[in-house]
Amino acid sequence: MEPVLEFKNVSKHYPQPSTGVLKALDDVSFSIQTGRTLAITGRSGSGKSTLLHLAAGIDVPSAGTVSFVGRDLGELSDRDRTLIRRDGVGLVFQFFYLLPHLTVWENVSLPAWIASDAGMEERGRDLLERVGLTAHASQEASKLSGGEMQRVAICRALLRKPRLLLADEPTGNLDDGNSEIVMDLLMKLVDEEEGTLLYVTHSDEQAAQADERLALHSGKLGPA
């Protein structure tokens, strides 16, 4: 079966005036099949965010290939990579990135509006019900707690049934109680949706929940 996401000998280098080259990623290879979860751990500056940017097609590698369902992202135009993110990838961030003056429902619906996809209302309502936020649908996002905001962000990311869900420190701004709730919810929803999840985290406990765990050290990927 073809992987949903595959890195083959991927490196990402950035020119540095003082030191010459910064190797953010160095010869990284891995793949994720449909329905699997992969956690990547590492200290700040180890290359985790760079890896996620490449996985989402926000950036392209300096060497090697990043493939999404068999398509080499490095060979696509900016527009085509944007369409892949819109239609095939869900993103969950540490800082939520909700629009504070929009309602919960409006924030969840945003990907469908952008894609001119009018058939997502039932799907959005169902997701809000599953995360326990139906009663908050008409509430402004700015009035939610951090844990509630992250649940809204997860619904938004899952709205259009992406093949791949990418999560960047999804509990980094939450207390321990909300962190546990959000991670359990994320795992449950991905399992129910038969989705594929790649997430980066500083937490060994959260990383242990994934089917597979790898670690980044100074741009090199290996066993955790």
- Percentage above 70 pLDDT, the chain: 100
pLDDT tens digits, one per residue of 204-224: 999 999 999 999 998 999 998
Q: Mean pLDDT, the chain, as a whole number?
A: 93
Distance CA 101, CA 200 (A): 29
pLDDT tens digits, one per residue of 171-186: 988 999 989 999 999 9
Task: List 41's β-bridge partners, or say none.
Answer: 201, 215
- Please tell us whether the domain made up of 5-223 is placed in CATH 3.40.50.300: yes
pTM: 0.93
**Burial (CB count <10 Å: 0-12, 13-18, 19+), residue 48:** buried
Residue 89 has pLDDT above 90, yes or no: yes
CB 187, CB 15: distance < 8 Å: no
Burial 2-18 (b: 16+ CB within 10 A, else e): ebbbbbbebebbeeeee
Residue 19 has pLDDT above 80, yes or no: no
